[in-house]
Amino acid sequence: MKGKGLENVVAAETAVSMVDGEKGRLVYRGLPAADIALESSFEEAAYLLLEGEKPDEQQLQAFTESLKKKRKLPEHIHKMIEQFPDDLEMMSVLEAAVAALAEKAPLEEPLRDQAERLIAVLPVIIASRHRQLQRKEMVQADAGLSHTANYLYMLHGQKPEEVETRALEAYLILTMEHGMNASTFTSRVIASTESDFFSAAAGAIGALKGPLHGGAPGGVINMLEAIGQKENAEAWLRAKIVAGERLMGFGHRVYKTTDPRAEALKKICESIAGKNDWLDTAYHVEEKAVQLLQEYKPGRELYTNVEFYAAAVLKAVELPANLFTPTFALSRSVGWSAHIAEQRKDNRIIRPQSVYIGK
C-alpha cells in the first residue's frame, strides 16, 4: 500500500509545469518560473501556460484584449453576491459564483474561451464582494489597466503605484501553477468525469479553501508586524531562536533547498528597496533571519519559502487578510485551466482504489 495522501504516487503525465524539490526548480512549459516572473507580465505568463509557448506581440495583444472584454460580471452573479450574508467567507462566495458561471456557458463555447472568462472575472468577483462588505460602491473595470493593476484599482478605488503593481504581478505569476497540488488534482478529477469546466474550477476552489493548501501567510505578517522596524529585527529574531520558537516563512515540504518562488520575489523586493517601507523591512528581516539561523543551527537547511515574501507583497499592496487566499485563487485559476484542458485531451476517468480495513 502506498503512503497516505497518495504521496509519491504519479497521477498524470503533464507538460504544464515541473516541480523539482531537490534542486529547487519550478518550470512553466520548459521555462524557469522565476525568470518569467521577473521578465513577463501576468498576461504573458498566462498565455504561456495556456498555449504552451510565449506569445508574440500580436498574440499577446489579442489575448490581453480578450481578457478585458470578459471582465464584465454577469448580472445573475452580481445578484448572487448581493444576496450572500455578510458572514459568508470570500472563498465560499468564489466557489458558488464560479459554479454558477456554468449556467450561462453555451454548450459550444470553446474551452479556451471559458478559461479566459474564469481568469478575467475572478478579480471582479473578489473586488465586488470586498466593496460590498465595506458598504462602498462597486468600482467599474478600467480597460486601460492591465489585469493586475485593474484588480488593485477595483479593490481600492484608486489607480495603484507601479511599484505595487509590479510586486503583486510577480506574486501572481509565481503562484499560477505548482504541479499536482490538491486543488489542481481536484480540477483534473472533476474534468475526468466529463463534467463542465466551471464545475471543475469550482471544485478546485473548494480544495484551495482548506487551510492545509491555501492557508494565508498570516503568521509571517504577524511576525513582521511584531518586529516593526528594521532596527528591531536582530534582537527579536535572536530571542525567538534562542527560545526554540519557529520563525514563520522558513522551510517547505517540497523544496529541500531555496524555494525558487521566494528567490524571485526577493529580487523584486531588492529592485524596489527604499520605495516601499514594508517590503524594505521584509527584505532586511529575511537577510538577518538567514544569518542567525546559520549561526544557531549550522548544517540545517532552512531557507525562506514563498509564504514569507508573499506576506510581504500582499501587505505592501494593502490587501486585508481575508483576501490572501482568494488572490491566490485568481492566480492559480490559470494553472487549473491549463490542467483541465490537458486532462480533456487524453482523458480517462480518475478512479483510484482503496484498501478495505473494516470488519
Catalytic residues: 252, 307
| Separation between Cα atoms, residue 136 and residue 157, nearest integer Å | 10
Give CB contacts under 8 A, 24+ apart, made by 210-214. Answer: 210/182, 212/182, 213/181, 213/182, 213/183, 214/91, 214/183, 214/325, 214/328, 214/329
Q: Output the CA–CA distances (angstroms, integers) from residue 275 to 279, 281, 306, 309, in the order listed.
A: 8, 11, 21, 16
- Confidence (pLDDT) at 275: 72
**Confidence (pLDDT) at 171:** 94
Cell reading at 24: 529547487
- Please tell me the predicted confidence (pLDDT) of residue 181: 94
Which pLDDT value is given to residue 239? 94
Cα 106 to Cα 70, 195, 299, 338: the distances in Å are: 15, 14, 58, 20
Residue 270 three-state SS: helix
* Strand residues in the chain grouped as ranges (E): 17-20, 25-28, 31-32
What domains can you pick out in the chain, each with its CATH number? 17-214+321-345 (1.10.580.10), 218-316 (1.10.230.10)
Asked whether 2 and 8 are in contact (CB, 8 A), the reply is yes
What does the pLDDT read at residue 175?
95
Contact 316, 160 (CB under 8 A): no
Q: Locate 155 and state its grid cell.
A: 479593490
pLDDT of residue 2: 59
Rg (CA), the chain: 21
Q: Output the pLDDT for position 256.
A: 60
pLDDT in tens, the chain (359 residues): 556 778 778 889 999 999 987 787 899 999 999 999 999 999 999 999 999 999 999 999 999 999 999 999 999 999 999 999 999 999 999 999 999 998 766 667 899 999 999 999 999 999 999 999 999 999 999 999 999 999 999 999 999 999 899 999 999 999 999 999 999 999 999 999 999 999 999 999 999 999 888 776 777 888 888 998 889 999 999 999 999 888 888 766 565 667 788 888 888 877 766 777 788 888 889 889 888 988 888 877 677 777 888 888 888 889 998 999 999 999 999 999 999 999 999 999 999 888 899 99
| pLDDT at residue 157, as a whole number | 96
